[in-house]
Structure 1
């Protein structure tokens, strides 16, 4: 079948607009091998979703897509130096060919996005052609979001445990402490195990499926401001429940502080508002555990064993032994439960009235930090 090329130059509607546009209020369709070239704006208030063939956006200046209904294209090509502004979302079923110009959405309106449907893909993404705003995908398990800002492409690679019904991403070259479209994310609210959180850029990622992400950095990321060596770089996320930055782990890291990449551990994107780079503090300079004293007499002072440092390692294990080496207490993920009463089956006498006064010793394992500590505990009655 011979290709059909339809250039659009004229205003095909009666509404008043600032520049020529194609106004669709009926049922517009591109057949197999057909080609439709937009050289003016598209206003879509009708059916425009049963398409095959190619849609191209071609202009030395900017174009706009707006209207009440989202158009659904098969193949898309962009060669519009001024970019294509999306005032309504656009869906793509097959290939997007980035040549020049960005698909741009208003980041203050996250309901607008450029969506890659199941099996959709893209080619040609670069600093001069990408999605400057929100890109989304549906029905795919792994995907690279071709997002960035006006100057650079800053992709995010998503690898999920299962198919994502929907996932969305945008990049912000902004300080998380002073974001343009969010409430502040104070980079000082973080675990003591984290040396610093980036104040230069962040990504917004949405998704309900457990996933890992890979982020890359370049000279503009200024990694040397937060890390002394690449091995300390990790991905951080602002947790919605905890309202603080939490590490997302590191499963792979490479490069140097000028250019490199890091892959997170598994997490659910919807649990976090935004993500960015962080760096681990040197463990031996961080934590030292002391000897402890408790007097569980009900006066509200030292009635239980409190170890504040365990907040930095929620996955921990505490074991307490008496002077003869008999284990008298053990707890996974300890949270201030020890009040002088044994919780293990052994030869402890008079378990109900509590352990006798005296000196004990403890062993603590911090799985999150790969650290082990031991010390003494004095119990007074």
Structure 2
């Protein structure tokens, strides 16, 4: 015998809103094989979290979900072209089926999200059905956020070192320097010295406490040709909370062309950054060539250490960065003297530290703060 969904609720008119609402003040439960379709608003002021069947949002009028408690549904689907506005969050235990319409949240309220729990997943996300606002995930280490701006799906792929207690993501098709959805701003002209530019077209906001890598993509609407004419210079950048500027979050070496493509980051902690977008590692025109160096880290006492005499003599206040041929940062030192001996000191660079960096050609950038000059060159590491 098919299990039924037994409900205890009241229907009443909502002042200022044309349609009625389902008001839950008791203990609603969707049993196995049960189905509950919402064609009206949901005001959830009691526990609604022991569900097994299917809950769906249907119709053509926008539906509001509000109340003191976030409902937790097992299987979910949305087939409402005007969308479902979340004034309180929704949790999904199993599957979400995006058919048509968006789950919407206020982008200036990060505490409300459509959240996928530990074993939850989704299907059907597209330009016509997504999360326009904050999507969250808990208890998972890898997840693709089905976020967008209600016009295009603009997912962010997250890969974390361990399961996330909770991480959230939203996409903004807005200039980060003057966004309309939030009061914060992240001026694209404020960036660290190694960046050549930061896009003023779009950005993502990502919250999370677990070290993670991400992948974001661009399309024709991203207007990448305005940022650069060389795909190889594109990288993921983040607005640092500590530095109050855009800084690199990954290597160059993006995949694609100027119309479509994607870039990946190195490992970082999302909570350390306010926003994420695309930037370039273009070499500024005022870079001057210093010498190219050879470091033979074999312990014979000859060229075992990278020595740049000009730093100590002309600019004790300096900043050295060394990158491998793929654009990944492998060594960084402020006020460098002679610390580089062929080993990485960057915690997020995966390597056998006891064996040191592999013999190869490396690229270095050094900032001489006392002179206001930047230099670049190549480093040949042998063993």
Say if 1:317 and 1:332, in contact at 8 Å, map to a contact too.
Answer: no
Q: Which runs of 5+ in 2 are unaligned?
A: 292-307, 323-330, 342-362, 368-373
Aligned to 1:326: none
Root mean square deviation, CA, Å: 3.3
Query: Cα distance, 1:12 vs. partner?
Result: 1.7
Q: Deviations over 1:118-143 (max 9, x none)?
A: 01000000000000000000000000
Question: Does the 8 Å contact 2:27/2:46 carry over to 1?
Answer: yes
Q: Secondary structure at the match of 2:271?
A: helix
Structure whose alpha-carbon radius of gyration is higher = 1
Question: Cα distance, 1:330 vs. partner?
Answer: 2.5
For residues 318 and 288 of structure 2, the distance between their equivalents in structure 1, rounded to whole angstroms, comes to 7
Q: Which residue of 2 aligns with 1:138?
A: 138
Q: CA deviation at 1:318?
A: 7.8
Give the C-alpha shift of residue 179 in structure 1: 1.7
Q: 1:266-305 alignment to 2 at 5 Å?
A: 266-282=267-283, 286-288=287-289, 305=314
Does 1:315 find its partner at 2:332? yes
Residues 173-219 of structure 1 show CA distances to partners (whole Å, capped at 9, x for unaligned) of 11011023142212111123211101000000011111110001100
Could you say if the C-alpha distance between residues 232 and 14 of structure 1 is closer, same or farther in structure 2, counting changes exceeding 3 Å? closer
Question: CA separation in 2, counterparts of 1:318 and 1:275?
Answer: 29
- Corresponding position of 2:33: 33
Q: Is the 8 A contact 1:217 1:260 kept in 2?
A: yes
CA contact under 8 A between 2:232 and 2:253: conserved in structure 1? no
Matched, 1:12 2:11: yes
CA distance in 2, matches of 1:220, 1:289: 40
Q: Which residue of 1 aligns with 2:370?
A: none
- CA–CA separation in structure 1 for the residues paired with 2:377 and 2:34: 67
How far has the Cα of 1:286 moved from its partner? Answer: 2.9
Q: Contact (CA 8 Å) 2:319, 2:366: kept in 1 or not?
A: no
8 Å Cα contact 2:318-2:366 kept in structure 1: no
Using a 3 Å threshold, how does the CA distance of structure 1 residues 145 and 28 change in structure 2: closer, same or farther? Answer: same
SS of residue matched to 1:162: coil
Deviation per residue, 1:330-370 (Å, 9 max, x gap)? 3469xxxxxxxxxxxxxxxxxxxxxxxxxxxxxx9549999
- Distance change (3 Å), C-alpha of 1:166 and 1:284: same
Structure 2 match to 1:80: 80
Cα distance per residue 1:70-96 (max 9 Å; x no partner): 100000000011100001011000000
For the residues of structure 1 that align with 2:287 and 2:276, how far apart are their CA atoms? 24
Question: CA 1:293–1:129 in structure 2 vs 1: closer, same or farther (change >3 Å)?
Answer: closer
TM-score, length basis structure 1: 0.77
Equivalent position of 1:166 in the other structure: 166
TM-score by length of 2: 0.77
Superposed, which structure 2 residues align to 1:80-119 within 5 Å?
A: 80-119=80-119
- Please tell me whether the aligned partners of residues 3 and 35 of structure 1 are also in contact (alpha carbons under 8 angstroms): no
When the two structures are aligned, how many residues end up with a matched partner? 326
Change (3 A) 1:63 1:331: same
Separation in 2, partners of 1:52, 1:223: 45
Partner secondary structure for residue 278 of structure 1: strand
1:14–1:62: structure 2 CA closer, same or farther, 3 Å change rule? closer
